[in-house]
Amino acid sequence: MAALCLYVHGMNVPGARSHGQLSISASSAPRDLLTDRPSRAGAWTAKVITLFPETFPGVLAASLTGKALTEGLWNLETVDLRQFGAGKHRSVDDTPSGGGAGMVLRADVMGNAIRHACRETASPLAYLSPRGRRLDQRMVQRFSEGPGLVLISGRFEGLDQRVIDRFCIEEVSLGDFVMTGGEIAAQALIDAAVRLLPGVVGNAASIEGESFSNGLLEHPQYTRPASWEGCDIPDVLTSGDHQAVAKWRQQEAERLTRERRPDLWQAYSDKDP
Ligand SMILES: C[S@@+](CC[C@H](N)C(=O)[O-])C[C@H]1O[C@@H](n2cnc3c(N)ncnc32)[C@H](O)[C@@H]1O
């Protein structure tokens, strides 16, 4: 199986075209942020195979991720699965072998879409799936450090297992619940990875102290007004004593993690007894 994966990725690299510093990225879905935008050659790129390309960039067009997309700090492309559909009706699904409810995404259709999406990239392939490994900050960090991601967004009962096996696709879950499709999960994963890219979040320090970055949940946050409906901000936060503030935040982060996430607390204590 590993040889097949090497074949797929090896196939992608030699075909890669070099671009100038800025180029225009074509997409099968002609929406403003997906087309005619500056795309920095070598910038982290997310490609999403989906039956619903019109759902992208979706929430990724807003705020910091949207600004970074406009500025070419990362690229987004959709691959419309329907275009790879079989026959006159461009069929993408069929009934489950062995019977049962629902429909399954066809191996031949998805296989062709994957080969198309992977033709100019060595990025890892991931399939958003409730059966996958639960997404966490460490995975997000790993994905953000690579060249990008090719994501498969499922629908119906999911994807024919042979495609997952043949391409050695990593399955990634957003959590222990089932959604109707992978598009929201894909956007969540892309958002989390993009905000770790250099230059996307203006103040890099705001990423450093965040939940999970140091193995703890983040301390509680407050802002003005100092008094609201009879509730005051903890005195230490308005004391001007930076050391005391740092100590309070660390203690609160440890308390919250201990109370809410015994799994994280155990790992943190084992690492730093
Ligand atoms: C209705 S779900 C299929 C569920 C599948 N029959 C099962 O029981 O595991 C359709 C698609 O939604 C996406 N999806 C649903 N829940 C998800 C989750 N928790 N994390 C990531 N993707 C999810 C996947 O892409 C999946 O192929």
Cβ of residue 153 lying under 6 Å from some atom of ligand 1: yes
CA of 130 to the centre of ligand 1 (A): 5
Structural tokens at position 206: 């705001």
Chain position carrying tokens 């607390």: 265
Both structure tokens of 138: 């460490």
Q: Is the CB of 130 under 6 A from ligand 1?
A: yes
Reference 42, options 185, 189, 244, 197; nearest CA is 197
Write out residues in the chain with pLDDT < 70, as ranges: 1-39, 272-273
Q: Range(s) for CATH 1.10.1270.20 in the chain?
A: 209-271
Instruction: Identify the pLDDT of residue 31.
Output: 56
**221 in ligand 1 pocket by Cβ < 6 Å?**
no
Q: Where in the chain is the domain with CATH 3.40.1280.10?
A: 2-194
157 Cβ closer than 6 Å to some ligand 1 atom: yes
Report domain 209-271's class.
mainly alpha
Look at residue 5 and give its three-state secondary structure: helix
Per-residue pLDDT, 206: 80
Which tokens belong to 123?
């990025």
Q: How far apart are alpha carbons 201 and 205 in whole angstroms?
A: 9
From 129, 159, 184, mutation site for ligand 1 pocket: most ligand atoms within 8 A of C-beta: 129
Q: How many CB atoms lie under 10 A from the CB of residue 247?
A: 12
User: What's the CATH fold of domain 2-194?
Assistant: Alpha/beta knot (3.40.1280)
- Exposed e or buried b for every residue in 88-120, given b needs 16+ CB within 10 A? eeeebbeeeeeeeeeebbbbebbbbbbeebbee
Q: Quick one: DSSP state of residue 268?
A: H
If you average pLDDT over every residue of the chain, what do you get?
Answer: 88
Q: What is the pTM of this model?
A: 0.88
Residue 49 CA, ligand 1 centroid: distance in Å: 14
Residues 234, 237, 239, 240: what is their CA dihedral angle, to the nearest 10 degrees?
180
Q: How far is the CA of 180 from the centre of ligand 1 (A)?
A: 6
**Can you tell me whether residue 170 is helix, strand or coil?**
strand
